[in-house]
Amino acid sequence: MNKPTGSEIRLASPLKAWASRFALLLLVGAAFGLMLIGRTNSFLVEETRTAVTDMVTPILDAVSQPVDTLSGVIDQAEALANLQSENVALKEQNARLLHWQAVARRLEAENAALRNLSQMVPDPQMRFITARVVGDPGGAFVRSVLINAGERNGIAKGQAATTGAGLAGRVAEVGLRSSRVLLVTDINSRIPVVVGQGRDRAVLAGDNTDAPQLLYLGPTAKLRIGDQVTTSGHGGVFPPGLPIGVVSAVGDTGVRVEPFVDWAHMEFLRIVDFEMSGILDFQSVEAARAASAEAETAAAAAEGPGQ
Amino acid sequence: MRQGVLHRLDGVARTISPFFVTLLLVLFALLPLRVTDFAPIMPAVALVGVFFWSVHRPDLMPIWAVFLIGFVQDLLAGGVWGPGILGLLLAHALVVWQHRFFLSASFILIWCVFMLVAAAAMAVTWLFTCLAMLTYIDPDPVFFQFLMTVALYPVLAWLFLRGQRLFQR
């Protein structure tokens, strides 16, 4: 192969220089065009994006497994080092949890009896789909992850994504075999929650930092650091009572919440299929959109022959 | 005859390899590394690829390839379309504009220039992301991302150079 030299690009020819300048202008224009399309036509953006993620997810799925194994080995080595102390801690925790199990069983029975008494409408059944996290775009602008389950596996838009610890995010885009989960820390994430003993209503709003903010708190709300934050179920998107985190800061800069989820070790997500059609009734919206598009084309076809 | 076809295929592979290597880097950057607090400051690998080949083999990193790499990156990131492309196009344009400068530049000098170009490109990406989302995004992670990218440049550049030498044998 020839050695790369400056003459290879031959910018000396003025025609070529103009052509390359024109190409630059054209492509910069195209980038601005895409930005506009992204703002105005979210449907097209989503379709394109899910098509691409569907294409790359099998690759990511295959490649991310050795990465997981490697980080698993590191975790194991760490665990071996702390075996003794961990064992003691676990025994203590086990004793405590057995006590809680007894309490939970008693409360469950009592709860069932009381519900029976008051003839309360039961919450819809929940179904879980477990998926592996195969992609994390990282960067400063978005907080989302890709999972290796999609429409085929029963994932639908709006479902809650949880880890064992608590709520991680919401399914934002669904492809055939992959989905994108918008994490609660993302700048576009808004989740209705209840906080603390007083069950004060608020909205948990992400801002791309690790500690999302609580917005729209009532003036009477009295919050303390350590208060539990759970989903409220308002809007009918998420089931009520999913734990999210604890209040970590109360001050002039707002109320901050520290989520329970360990973002660095999020290998699997449990997608909660909460069988309830809430405000975000995507299916009917999309059906209506498809129907109106069909009606338009039918109308155009009917007009066509007359002209 | 057969050798002619193989030779030509070889030539094609060499011509498109910078483009595909950069695309692969963008894809692999998606892998969850499970390292605490690493995701927000993930280095901008596409920028390294585009800059490196715009400097050393501008004939193999045409502007449409830069555009495509940017588009794929923006698609996979799940954010707004466009700002990432604009950053990469700016980096490419800056390098092509001052191409003569790089002909005799040492590695350290090129690295320093990369720092400037990366700063400009990432600032443009940040600015247009803010504009497109109509919100103010905290620039601190972008700054740390910039530092990570600058730190990663020698590593990737070394790998690219080794790869190129392997090809040229």
Burial of A46 (0-12, 13-18, 19+ CB in 10 A): middle
Phi/psi of residue B5, nearest 5 degrees: -65, -45
Would you say the ipTM is above 0.90? no
What CA–CA distances, in Å, run from A154 to A167, A177, A178, A271?
Answer: 19, 10, 11, 10
Closest CA to B102 of B15, B168, B92: B92
Among B41, B78, B128, the residue with its CB nearest the CB of A142 is: B78
- Segment A169-181, tens digit of pLDDT: 999 999 998 999 9
Residue B76's CB is within 10 A of a number of other CB atoms, namely 22
Structure token pair of residue A269: 């997500």
**Which of B77, B99, B129 comes nearest A9 by C-beta?**
B99
A135 vs B76: CB contact, 8 Å cut-off? Answer: yes
Whether residues A31 and B76 touch (CB distance < 8 A) is answered with no
Q: Is B33 exposed, middle or buried (0-12, 13-18, 19+ CB in 10 A)?
A: middle
For A19: left if phi > 0, alpha if psi spans -120 to 50, otherwise beta; the answer is: alpha
The per-residue pLDDT for range A145-203, each reduced to its tens digit, is 999 999 998 898 888 999 888 899 999 999 998 999 999 999 989 999 999 888 889 99
Q: What pLDDT, in 10s, does the model give residues A252-272?
A: 778 999 999 988 888 889 998
Indicate the residue of A60, A137, A210 with minimum beta-carbon distance to B78.
A137
Using a CB-CB distance cutoff of 8 angstroms, which residues of chain B are in contact with residue A67? 31-34
Closest by CA position to A183, among listed A266, A283, A281 = A266
To probe the interface with B, which of A16, A26, A27 has the most B CB atoms within 10 Å?
A27
CA distances from A165 to A179, A235, A244, A304, B103 (A): 21, 23, 8, 59, 55
Question: Which DSSP string do the residues of A74-130 spell out, in sequence order?
Answer: HHHHHHHHTHHHHHHHHHHHHHHHHHHHHHHHHHHHHHHHHHHHHTPPPPPPEEEEE
| B32 reaches A (C-beta below 8 A) | yes
For chain A positions 256-295, those within 8 Å of chain B (CB to CB) are: 263-267
* CB spacing of A6 vs B139 below 8 angstroms: no
Segment B111-134, tens digit of pLDDT: 999 999 999 999 999 999 999 888
Q: Which domain holds residue B121?
A: 2-31+40-168
- What is the pTM for the complete model shown? 0.78
Q: Which of B68, B71, B66, B91 is nearest to B81 (CA)?
A: B71
CB contacts under 8 A, B 62-91 vs A, are 63-64, 66-67, 70-72, 74-83, 85-86, 89
When divided into structural domains, chain B yields a total of 1
* Other beta carbons less than 10 A from residue B144's beta carbon: 16
pLDDT tens sequence for chain A (307 residues): 444 444 444 445 677 778 878 888 999 999 999 888 888 877 888 888 899 989 988 888 888 888 778 777 877 887 788 888 888 999 999 999 998 888 888 888 888 888 777 776 666 677 888 999 988 888 888 899 999 999 998 898 888 999 888 899 999 999 998 999 999 999 989 999 999 888 889 999 998 888 999 988 888 778 888 889 999 888 777 888 888 999 998 887 789 999 999 888 888 899 988 765 554 555 555 666 666 666 766 666 665 444 3
In the prediction, which pLDDT does A161 show?
92
pLDDT score, position A122: 64
Q: What is the DSSP letter of A218?
A: -
A&B contacts, CB < 8 Å: 170
How many C-alpha atoms does A5 have within 13 Å on its Cβ side?
5
Hey, is the C-beta of B42 within 8 angstroms of any chain A C-beta? yes
Could you identify the residue written with the tokens 């290998």? A267
